[in-house]
């Protein structure tokens, strides 16, 4: 089964735990970078390790969670080959994979429920990149 790297800041702890429990039950191997508590932490400290796991191939996909998902998305997208997508609807999670070949899903903990976080993550992981006309566009993303 695929390895999934996951990390969050203090705002995403409960969502992270729900996602880990769900993915573990589905047979995924989880690389957990935390955080595990409610004390304020800096989201880049958790986003960089997840992005590095995906960048180096240690994990096939990543899941990042913070309050708005903007911070973790911006941080992860600094890494070469990372296409981190902020997803707040199931259709966005699907399109991020289909059209953008996203490899990290970024979830806004303060704006979605645990059930939505799990649904969006599952959709993201189960959706294939369409390639074709989208491949040329994705190839132009890197600097």
Residues serving a catalytic function are 66, 99
Among 48, 43, 60, residue whose Cα is nearest residue 125: 60
The alpha carbon dihedral of 58, 62, 66, 72 has a sign of positive
Q: List CB contacts of 15: < 8 A, sequence separation 6 or more.
A: 8, 65, 107, 109, 112, 114, 117
Tokens of 41: 């932490």
Contact at 8 Å (CB) between 33 and 49? yes
Contact at 8 Å (CB) between 61 and 125? yes
Among 64, 33, 34, 67, residue whose Cα is nearest residue 49: 33
């Amino acid at each position: 089964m695929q390895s999934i790297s996951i990390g969050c800041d203090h705002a995403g702890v409960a969502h992270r735990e729900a996602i880990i429990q769900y993915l573990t039950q589905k047979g995924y191997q989880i690389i957990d970078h935390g955080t595990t508590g409610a004390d304020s932490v800096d989201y880049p400290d958790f986003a960089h390790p997840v992005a590095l796991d995906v960048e180096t191939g240690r994990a096939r996909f990543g899941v990042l969670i913070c309050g708005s998902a903007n911070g973790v998305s911006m941080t992860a997208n600094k890494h070469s080959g990372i296409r981190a997508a902020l997803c707040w609807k199931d259709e966005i999670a699907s399109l991020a994979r289909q059209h953008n070949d996203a490899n990290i899903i970024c979830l806004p903990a303060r704006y979605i429920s645990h059930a939505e976080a799990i649904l969006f993550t599952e959709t993201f992981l189960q959706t294939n990149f369409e390639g074709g006309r989208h491949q040329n566009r994705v190839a132009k993303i890197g600097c």
